[in-house]
Amino acid sequence: MTAPRLLVRRPSPRLADGELTHLERLPVDPVVALEQWEGYVEVFRARGWQIVEVDPADDQPDGVFVEDAVIVFDDLAVLCRAGAASRRGEAPSIRAAVARLDLEMAEVAAPGTLDGGDVLKVGRVVYVGASSRTDAEGIAQLRRMLEPRGWSIVEVPVHRVLHLKSAVTALPDGTVVGYAPLVDAPESFPVFVGIPEEHGTAVVVLDERTVLMSADAPETAEVYRKRGLEVVTAEVTEFEKLEGCVTCLSVRVRD
Residues noted as catalytic: 163, 248
Residues 6+ apart with CB under 8 A from 197: 179, 216, 217, 218, 219, 220
- Nearest CA to 216 among 196, 238, 193, 199? 199
Spell out the alpha helix ranges (H) of the chain: 30-45, 91-99, 136-146, 164-167, 218-226, 237-240
One-character DSSP codes across 62-83: TTT-GGGTEEEETTEEEE-B-S
Q: HSE (CB half, 13 Å, CA atoms) of 31?
A: 0
Give the separation between CA 247 and CA 204, rounded to whole angstroms: 6
One-character DSSP codes across 227-238: TT-EEEEE--HH
Yes or no: say if 137 and 156 are a contact pair by the CB < 8 Å rule.
Answer: no
Yes or no: say if 253 and 6 are a contact pair by the CB < 8 Å rule.
Answer: yes
